[in-house]
Each structure stands twice: as structure tokens, then as C-alpha cells.
């Protein structure tokens, strides 16, 4: 089994019912499982469930990103991390890893621009 085919082990306490409820609330494709590196070498990982940020969270993030970048990141992590939030917020590496994962999920589509 390759790393890509690796079975997902849900975080402790998370059931299929939790996943189903999150998918109903946020959208079928908006709930994701991520593994955040616990160390710089990537030897150990912390698994958690996150969701794609909505316009509301993006708006709040953009409000703070220039004035207070740390608060802007807190907004995204607080809103989008669904499991292990306290553990993630207590560790700088996990926090930045979670923010990175969330930022990669921001739904930005590229427009095709043509001259008239």
C-alpha cells in the first residue's frame, strides 16, 4: 500500500456520525482529513479534521491580515479546525501547519481572460 493509498485513521473520539454531520453542515466535499507534521523531519504526524473556509471566515481573515496577522491566522484555525484544536493551538508548528492546510483549501478558481 503506497502512502497515497494509506487508510485514514480517524482522530480519537471521531465517529462516522461526526463525519456525516460535518458533511451535511459544511458540504460533502468541504470536510478534509489532514496530517500535520509534529517535527521538522516529518517523522511523526498529528491527524485532524478541517473544513474549507467559507466567505464569512475569509472576510474576517482579510479584515485582520494587514493589521494583525496572528489574529487573522487564529480566525482561520478557530473556524476551520474541527478536531484537536486545543492541541494544535498549543504547538506553534502544528498551528502553522494547520493554517497552511486551511489556506490551501481556499476556493480560488482561475478565470480565463480574453481580449474583445
Q: Which three cell numbers mark 103?
A: 489556506
Beta bridge partners of 105: none
What does the mean pLDDT of the chain come to?
92
pTM for this predicted structure: 0.86
Query: Measured between alpha carbons, how far is 13 from 111 in angstroms, rounded to an integer?
Result: 41
Confidence band of 1 (pLDDT split at 50, 70, 90): very low
Question: Which contiguous run of DSSP H or E holds residue 81?
Answer: none
pLDDT tens per residue across span 64-112? 999 999 999 999 999 999 999 999 999 999 999 999 999 999 989 999 9
Taking the domains of the chain in order of start, what are their residue ranges? 16-104
- Residue labelled with grid coordinates 517523522: 43
Answer whether 77's CB lies under 8 Å from 49's CB.
no
CATH class assigned to 16-104 = alpha beta
Amino acid at each position: 500500500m503506497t502512502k497515497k493509498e494509506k487508510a485514514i485513521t480517524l482522530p480519537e473520539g471521531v465517529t462516522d456520525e461526526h463525519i456525516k454531520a460535518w458533511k451535511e453542515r459544511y458540504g460533502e466535499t468541504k470536510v478534509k482529513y489532514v496530517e500535520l507534521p509534529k517535527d521538522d523531519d516529518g517523522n511523526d504526524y498529528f491527524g485532524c479534521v478541517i473544513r474549507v473556509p467559507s466567505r464569512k471566515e475569509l472576510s474576517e481573515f482579510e479584515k485582520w491580515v494587514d493589521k494583525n496577522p496572528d489574529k487573522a491566522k487564529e480566525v482561520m484555525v478557530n473556524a476551520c479546525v474541527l478536531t484537536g484544536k486545543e492541541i494544535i493551538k498549543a504547538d506553534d508548528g502544528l498551528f502553522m501547519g494547520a493554517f497552511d492546510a486551511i489556506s490551501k483549501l481556499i476556493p480560488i478558481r482561475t478565470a480565463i481572460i480574453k481580449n474583445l
